[in-house]
Amino acid sequence: MKVRRLKLSGFKSFVEPAELSVEPGLTGVVGPNGCGKSNVLEAIRWVMGESSPKSMRGAGMDDVIFAGTALRPARDFAEVSLLVERDAGDAQGEGALPAGEIEVTRRIERGAGSAYRVNGRDVRAKDVALLFADAATGAHSPALVSQGRISAVIAAKPTERRAMLEEAAGISGLHVRRKDAEQK
């Protein structure tokens, strides 16, 4: 799976709609302190289904919504879209999401929680989690190296390190389905 484009609106410091295209190869995000580099990476993790506000550096999930400044009022929603290209080898999974280019969108309204869309169609959070897990990526993918991540890998417990290896090996999707099957 390849990331092609990221669109943000009302997400953290990205109050005005912004679009970033991602070229093939390794991507680095550079800029002065506080310009929003970490926010870009968090947006990618968030649209992939990140569910922990703490790992988004907030107390609650509404904290990802632009909180306002002395000059601009706060927003009441945030929306992030990620355009990805699914490789032929990415599993289809149940529900058969389309192959090729797909756009995944997550939107949060203040006080009302998140909703997800794939190519404009409403989907469940679980569908998005499976979509990325099957492509061996996702909110906790080792491909997204955020601040503090290197030391976290070194300090990780063996079980946590195993989870990282499973993500990298592309078998986390199996765990999601097993958990799901156990609940049924």
- Coil, strand or helix at 87: coil
Site for ligand ATP in 43-82 (CB under 6 A): 63, 65-67
* Alpha-carbon span 116 to 104, nearest angstrom: 7
Site string (123-162) toward Mg ion, x via CB under 5 A:
------------------------x---------------
* Alpha-carbon span 51 to 65, nearest angstrom: 15
Judged by beta carbon distances under 5 to 8 A according to partner kind, the member of ligand ATP, Mg ion, none in contact with residue 36 is ligand ATP
Q: What is the closest distance, in whole angstroms, from the C-beta atom of residue 76 to ligand ATP in the complex?
A: 12
38 is in an annotated binding site: yes
Q: What is the closest distance, in whole angstroms, from the C-beta atom of residue 23 to ligand ATP in the complex?
A: 20
Site membership for ligand ATP, residue 38 (CB under 6 A): yes
Q: What is the closest distance, in whole angstroms, from the C-beta atom of residue 73 to ligand ATP in the complex?
A: 11
**Of 43 and 131, which CB lies nearer to ligand ATP in the complex structure?**
43
33 is in an annotated binding site: yes
DSSP secondary structure letter of residue 14: B
**Of 29 and 99, which CB lies nearer to Mg ion in the complex structure?**
29
Site membership for Mg ion, residue 13 (CB under 5 A): no
Residue 74 tokens read as 């706060």
Site membership for Mg ion, residue 38 (CB under 5 A): yes
Burial 42-74 (b: 16+ CB within 10 A, else e): bbbbbbbbbeeeeebebeebbebbbeeeeeeee
DSSP secondary structure letter of residue 11: B
The residue ranges of DSSP E strands in 36-165, in sequence order, are 77-86, 100-109, 113-118, 121-123
**Of 22 and 91, which CB lies nearer to ligand ATP in the complex structure?**
22
* Alpha-carbon span 97 to 118, nearest angstrom: 8
* Alpha-carbon span 115 to 172, nearest angstrom: 23
Question: Where on the chain is the footprint of ligand ATP (CB under 6 A)?
Answer: 12-13, 31, 33-39, 63, 65-67, 147
Please enumerate, by residue number, every residue annotated as part of a binding site for ATP: 32-39
